[in-house]
Structure 1
Amino acid sequence: MFFKTATLFQLKETVDFDKLEAALAEFPLKEVDSQDEFSFGSMPLVRNSETWSLRSNDCLLMRFGKEEKNLPSSVVREALEEKVAEIELIEGRKVGRKEKADIKDELIFTMRPTAYAKRSDVWMHIDNKAGFIAIYSTSANMIEQAFKHLQTMLGSFPMTPLQAQVSPSATMTHWLLMNDVPASLETGATCDIQEPQTMDKAKIAFTNLEPLSEDVTRHLQQGMNVKSLALRWTDKINFVLHDDLTIRKVKFDDAIKEAAFNDSQGGGLSDMDATFALASLTTRELFTSLCAWFEIATAEQEQAA
C-alpha cells in the first residue's frame, strides 16, 4: 500500500503474527445492529476474498473497517424542534432542558434503525524488525478503535506513541533558522508556523514559498515555531511532517511505484504484495531517520540499555 497519511507508534514487544493472522478472520466486521452506533472489525484486503493479511520483510499488512449509522445531527435537530413545538402548542407549556434531552434520546432510539449504514476502513502494518506499527490515518477515533480491536484479538497490544527526546517543533524551527536541514532531506513548498505562548496561538500558513526564505525565517526569529513542514526525503517520498510526528500528504517517488509495478505478477493481490514489499521497507528506513532526527529510542536501543 502506498499510503497517503500515517501515524506511527512504537511496539513494546514483538507481535505474534501467527496468532494475529488466525484472529483476523475470527473477528470480522459485522453489520451494525439496529440500536448500535457502530461496529468495528477485520476486513479482507480485497473485497470478497479470503485474504486477511500480507507478510513481507517481517511486516504484516492488515485492514480494519467501521460501519456506523449515518444519522445527521441536522435531521435529529429538526425532528426535535418539531416535537418540542408540538408539545408547547398542544400543552401550552415550555419544554425544559432535561425534557428536551430525553426527547432527543428517544428520537435517536426511534430513528437509528432506519438510518443509512456507512462503511469506512483503515489500513495499517506492523513492523516487527523495526518495532513500530504504522496506521494509515490521522483520525483519533479510527486509531483508537484499531487499537481496541487489536487488544480484543490478542488480549493485549503493548504500544506507545513516539517518544521524542527533543521537541519536533523546536527541531524543525532550528533546521530553518540555522539552515541546518539533515542531509537526507530537502524542504518543500509549504510550511505552517504559529505563536507558542499566546492564548490564541496565531498561525501563518506559507504555500508555494521556500521555507528557508527570509519571509519565513523572519517570523521564526521573532519567536514563532514550525507547526508543519513539507519535506522530500532521500528522493523516495514527499510528505508533510507535523509537530506531533504524524505524516501527511505522502507521495512516493515514481521510481518506487515503477519498481513495484515491475515486481508484480499482475492482479489485485499480486500488485498489493509488490507494493507493500517496497512501501514497508521504505517506511522502515523513514522510521529509522525519524528516530535519529528527534532522538527517539528504538526497541533495539532500549533492550541494549
Structure 2
Amino acid sequence: MWFKNLQIFQLKDTENFSSTDLIAKLPEHPLRECGSQDEFTFGWMPLIRSSEQWAISSNQCMLIRAGKEEKVLPTAVVREELEAKVAEIEIVEGRKVGRKEKADIKEELVFTLRPRAFSKRSDIWAYIDTKAKLVVLNSTNAGMTEQLFKLLQTTLGSFAMVPLQAQVSPASIMTDWLMKNEVPASLETGDECEIQDASEDKAKIRFKSLEPLSEDVTRHLSQGMSVKNLALRWSEKMSFVLNDDLTLKKVKFDDTLKENAFNDSQGGTLSDMDANFALMSLTIRDFFESYQLWFEIADE
C-alpha cells in the first residue's frame, strides 16, 4: 500500500490514545450496506476484502481503512422525472408551479427513487504514527476526511487531531524558493507548477513540462503572483506536487524503496502490504522532519 496523496494531521493527547483499543473496536463499527433511504453509510473495512485483518502495525504506526457506500441517483434521472411531474401539473391544473413547490416535488421524487438507486463504494486509507504524533491520510477529499474523523471519534469516544499550522504562508515560502533560487538542499524542482495572482478572481497559470526556475515562471512571480502548487522531488526517495494548503498529490515513491519492500516481503498479499507500509511510513516520518522545518510547522 503506497499512498498516492498525503494529507497530514498532528495527533494530540497521545497519552490517552491506545492503538490496542482502536484495533479491538474497529470490527464494532464496520461499513454496512445502505438501507432503502440511506444517502450513504461510513464505517471500517478490513484491509483486504473478506479477511479479518482490520489493521497492520509497524514501527509505532498503524494502518487502517474506512469505506463509504452511497446511493447513486443520477442528476439527469431526477431532473427528467421532475420536469415530467411539473409539466403534468401545469397541464392538468392549468397553473405554473412555483419554486418552493418544485423543490418539494424534487425532494419527494428523491425519496421515492432512492430505494431503486444502485450503490457504489469508495475507501480511504490512513495510518496513525504515535512516535511522530501524526495522522496521515491517503486522500485530500474534504468530505471523506470529515467522515473519517467522525468515525474515529465515534469508535474511540474522542480523538483529537488538528491540521498542520504553518507559521509562514506556504505559498510565500514556495514563491521565495523560486524567486531566490533557494530550494532546500534535499529538494529538486520537477516540471510542474501552478501560480496564482492576488486579485479577487485569483487568475491562475499552469506550467507543465517546464522548469519552475525558468524565466517564464519567475517573471510572473516578480509581478506579484505566488506559487499555488509545485512539483518536487525529495532526497531521491519520493516525488510529489506540493500544494499551498500543505497537502501532497501525485506522490510517487522511488523504485528502490519498492524493491526493498519486495525483498522484505515473505510473499502473499498481507505480507506485501506489511512490507510496503513499513518502508512507506518510515519514509514519511523522515520526510515530515524536513517538512516541519521548511514551513515552520508548530509542534502540538
User: How far apart are residue 298 of structure 1 and its match?
Assistant: 2.5
Alignment correspondent of 2:189: 187
Q: Which amino acid aligns with 1:92?
A: G
Q: 1:98: how far off?
A: 1.1
2:10 alignment partner in structure 1: 10
- Equivalent position SS for 1:10: strand
For residue 87 of structure 2, what is the aligned residue in structure 1?
Answer: 85
Unaligned residue ranges in structure 1 (runs of 5+): 300-305
Aligned length: 298
What's 1:157 paired with?
Answer: 159
CA contact (8 A) 1:130 1:298 kept: no
Identify the residue that residue 211 of structure 2 maps to in structure 1: 210
Q: Distance in 2 between matches of 1:199 and 1:35?
A: 42
Q: What TM-score results when the alignment is normalised by the length of structure 2?
A: 0.98
What does the per-residue CA deviation read over 1:127-182, in whole Å, with 9 as the maximum and x for residues that have no partner? 11001101110110000000000000011111110010011000000000001000
SS of residue matched to 2:263: helix
Runs of 4+ in 1 over 6 A off after TM superposition: none
Compare 28-37 and 10-19 and name the one that shifted more: 10-19
Aligned to 1:28: 30
Give the Cα–Cα distance (whole angstroms) in 1 for the partners of residues 58 and 290 of structure 2.
21
Asked if the contact 1:230/1:240 (under 8 Å) is kept, the reply is: yes
Residue in 2 that maps onto 1:65: 67
SS of residue in 2 equivalent to 1:215: helix
Root mean square deviation of aligned Cα? 0.7
> Secondary structure at the residue paired with 1:25?
helix
User: Residue in 1 aligned with 2:269?
Assistant: 268
The residue identity in structure 1 corresponding to 2:208 is T
* Alignment deviations for residues 33-59 of structure 1 (CA, whole Å, 9 cap, x no partner): 110100000000001000000000100
Letter in 1 for 2:165: Q
Tell me which residue corresponds to 1:107: 109
Once the two structures are TM-superposed, the CA of residue 275 in structure 1 deviates from its matched residue by 0.2
Task: Give the letter aligned to residue 9 of structure 1.
Answer: F
Match of 1:121 in 2: 123
Post-superposition offset of 1:91:
1.0
1:89 positional shift: 0.8
In the TM superposition, residue 97 of structure 1 has moved relative to its aligned partner by 1.0
User: Identity of paired residues, percent?
Assistant: 65
